[in-house]
A and B are shown apart, each in its own frame.
Chain A
Amino acid sequence: MKALAGGYARARDVAHAVDLLAKADGMGRVLAGGQSLIAAMNMRLSTGDMLVDISRIDALRGVTVDGESLRIGALTRHADIGADPLVARHAPLLAQAVQHIAHAAIRNRGTIGGSLAHADPAAEFPACVLALGGTIHLQGPEGARTVAAEDFFIDIFETAIAEGEILTAITLPLAEAGEQHLLIETARRSGDYALAGLCLVKRAAGYRLSAFSVGPRPVLAVAAMERLDAGDVAGAVAALRAEIDPPGDTQASAAYRRHLAGVLLTRALHDLTGETA
């Protein structure tokens, strides 16, 4: 089908974008890479949007090390994240994720900020930022604020972004020496949404584990993390299966997704540490 947009405006900078959103009478919709939004518009899942195109705001693009954290501008594209030396060094989990996100042509346009703001529960980047304990930076009419990743994802396609706010950047702690990252997922075909997926981070202080495509939002598997820290792999698998609430659909049943998540954890630990369950 064909999209039915209410209007279009190109933002010069973040302040202009916030101003445009405020003028949109509640119909404002931020357009970045458009790889989810334009698909939704074409399917008429969304009509009458007043599009605020932020994709030309250069200040929102790029990766830098800012003190003790890695700062990724919201408009940094998937393909750029996959090729960025700072990401490879300080947050390799994101570089791994890129290999799983859709297809090359979509990775050329899609942005990390768009992925987080869209909050598809099957998407990789939200789960990565959750596992890494990242921070999301927002700007709105009241000024700038930050939200911890653990408080950011609320429900399907729903985040802590308030009306009129724009996601401007993500900051992540720099990987410490010896820190290990692993993203593992199962999909029916390359580039499809995962049936289930996990992000596993091993730090000196302990494990971090998040799961995606297993519920209405990415899940930080706190109980499983605690069992992993105790060296109890079987306990961690059981805990993970208990703390996710996967949907059943035409791709996979809920029971299969729950089973798969546990299998993936066992595989991930094997890949990371050589341990077997």
Chain B
Amino acid sequence: MTEAFRDRIDIALTVNGEQVEARVPAGRHLVDFLRLDLGLTGAHAGCEHGVCGACTIQVDGQAVRGCLMLAAQADGAEVWTLEGLTEQGVIRDLQDAFVARNALQCGYCTPGMLASIKELLDMGGVPDRATIREHLSGNYCRCTGYEAIIDAVETVAQARAGKGAA
């Protein structure tokens, strides 16, 4: 290997508001880094080729696939996982709505669902059900049949809009 290329890369990033420094293998994707190196098992590794959405996390304010980004590429990034989002309370209403509507059963897809939904809700307004479905088309759920998830998102969007208007 030439000197220019490294098989282990030093990275410094923020994860859930905390500074993290690490040395990661070149091929390590971000979800494995979070789960195996940092012990943050909230984001789930599912298909590992970007199809199922279980690994969706927030990087620099955007929802991304944790399995389609290398940890090496996250140098300098601001990463939020379900643990941090829960601790901050920013999706408390959404999590409550998931429970109230039975929008999860096994829970495997839920962290990714929540990260994707957070991005949609952060855009503001009350998306119609077709828009919610479209936005969540990249997050597979094999338990619920999706209706309960759409219900939960719709409920929270309406509640947030109502609060904003009041």
Listed in ascending order, the chain A residues whose CB lies under 8 Å from chain B are: 1-10, 19-20, 23-25, 31, 34-35, 38-39, 41-43, 50-51, 53, 55, 79, 102-106, 108-109, 189-191
Contact = CB atoms under 8 A, between A and B. Distances in A.
Interface of B: 1-2, 4-7, 9, 25-29, 32, 48-50, 53, 56, 62-65, 67-70, 72-73, 75, 116, 119-120, 133-135, 137-139
B9 A8 contact: yes
B68 A106 contact: yes
Given A38-B67, A53-B73, A55-B73, A103 B138 contact: yes
Given A39-B49, A105-B116, A7 B7 contact: yes
25 contacts: A2-B29, A4-B27, A7-B7, A8-B6, A8-B70, A10-B75, A20-B5, A23-B2, A23-B4, A24-B2, A34-B73, A38-B50, A41-B27, A42-B49, A53-B73, A79-B62, A102-B50, A104-B63, A105-B53, A105-B63, A105-B64, A105-B119, A108-B62, A108-B63, A190-B133
B50 A106 contact: yes
Nearest to B24: A8
B48 A108 contact: no
Contacts of B48: 1-2, 39, 42-43
Given A5-B26, A7-B7, A19-B4, 10 more contacts: A5-B7, A31-B73, A50-B1, A53-B70, A55-B73, A103-B137, A104-B63, A105-B119, A109-B64, A191-B138
